[in-house]
Amino acid sequence: MSFPEEYMLPCLNKKLLGFECMGCGLQRSVSLIFQGEFIAAFHMYPAIYTLMLMFGFIGLNFFKNYKFAQKIIIPLAIINVAIILGNFILKTFINH
């Protein structure tokens, strides 16, 4: 087990109920990005890059208040919810 993996939080949903939650893979995906494994990070958690884009813009908007911020944040949030739900449905019901 490598350095970041030994400090990752376990998924309680998977431990207690036996199936992955909607956030399963996010920590490992971030770890893969730090290791330079960008394609593997996407395969681990497909919403990783759109989440990074959304939270990056939210952080930028925190310091420089853009008047059109809601027109960017809301569509990004909807896209992220769709990707996360779609991935969860695929992993849980279709590829199971």
Q: Where are the alpha helices (DSSP H) in 1-96?
A: 12-17, 26-34, 38-44, 48-63, 69-89
CB atoms within 10 A of CB 55: 13
Angle formed by the axes of helices 48-63 and 26-34, nearest 10°: 80
pLDDT at 19: 76
Tens-level pLDDT at each residue, the chain (96 residues): 565 667 777 777 777 887 788 888 899 999 999 999 999 999 999 999 999 999 999 999 999 989 999 999 999 999 999 999 999 999 888 876
Any idea which residue has 């330079």 for tokens? 36
pLDDT at 13: 76
pTM: 0.82
CB 47 within 8 A of CB 83: yes
Residue 82: closest CA among 51, 59, 39, 42: 51
Give the largest Cα separation in the chain, rounded.
46
